[in-house]
């Protein structure tokens, strides 16, 4: 699998934006702190390689439409409810933001290595249904941008 623009974004642009994130940043919407957001992104990487399984809540007939939305490089809706029905913040798992950021980069690298080795692997997305490596790459780019906009790390961009 050759390097895609989504993979390049995760390796380069996202790394730069993440480096700028500090505990002084505040969310433009939602309840998350910077560390909650980083730990949330860690969980989605684990979902995308099957380490964590969250039930699919979208009806199967809606998967194509939802998946197309998740693949598109456009802003995500804000304040999307948790697919597990609990919108409380999860307890923090790392002692500080810097530790969480280091773990996120480690999980990103594990994900990128995993998808090179198993490009046909399918992992369930709670809204998009079963997704392959390329679909997860596109989703992760969209998801990172969403949270980087939330914390003012990148400017908002137009929907296409």
CATH classification at residue 41? 1.20.120
Whole-angstrom distance between the N-terminal and C-terminal Cα of the chain? 27
- Residue corresponding to tokens 């992104």: 41
Beta bridge partners of 130: 124
Structure confidence at residue 1 (pLDDT): 46
Residue 23 lies in a domain: yes
Residue 15 lies in a domain: yes
Minimal CA–CA distance to 75: which of 143, 6, 4, 151? 143
Residue 157 lies in a domain: no
**Extended strands (E) in the chain:** 123-125, 129-131
pTM of the entire structure? 0.92
What CA–CA distance (Å, rounded) separates 13 from 59?
A: 34
Work out how many domains the chain is built from and give that number: 1
Q: What is the pLDDT of residues 84-120, one digit of tens each?
A: 667 788 899 999 999 999 999 999 999 999 999 998 9
Residue 94 lies in a domain: no
Q: What is the pLDDT of residues 125-144, one digit of tens each?
A: 999 999 999 999 999 999 99
Residue 92 lies in a domain: no
> Residue 60: pLDDT above 90?
yes
Look at 81 and 26; give whichever has higher pLDDT: 26
Residue 62 lies in a domain: yes
Q: Which of 43-47, 78-82, 97-101, 141-145 has the lowest mean pLDDT?
A: 78-82
Reported as a pLDDT band with limits 50, 70 and 90, residue 70 is very high
What CA–CA distance (Å, rounded) separates 96 from 35?
A: 7
The percent of the chain in helix, strand and coil, each rounded to the nearest 5, is 50, 5, 45
> Residue 82: pLDDT above 90?
no
Residue 29 lies in a domain: yes
Residue 101 lies in a domain: no
Domain residues for the domain of 44 are 5-78+107-150
């Amino acid at each position: 699998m050759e390097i895609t623009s989504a993979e390049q974004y995760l390796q380069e642009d996202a790394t730069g934006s993440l480096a700028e994130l500090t505990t002084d940043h505040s969310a433009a919407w939602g309840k998350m702190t910077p560390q909650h957001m980083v730990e949330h992104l860690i969980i989605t990487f684990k979902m995308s390689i099957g380490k964590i399984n969250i039930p699919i809540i979208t009806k199967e007939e809606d998967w194509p439409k939802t998946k197309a939305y998740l693949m598109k490089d456009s802003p995500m809706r804000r304040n999307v409810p948790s697919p597990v029905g609990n919108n409380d913040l999860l307890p923090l798992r790392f002692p500080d933001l810097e530790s969480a950021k280091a773990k996120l980069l480690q999980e990103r690298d594990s994900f990128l290595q995993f998808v090179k080795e198993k490009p046909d692997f399918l992992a369930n997305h709670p809204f998009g249904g079963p997704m392959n490596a390329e679909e997860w790459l596109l989703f992760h780019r969209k998801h990172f941008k969403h949270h980087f906009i939330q914390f003012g790390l990148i400017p908002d961009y137009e929907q296409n």
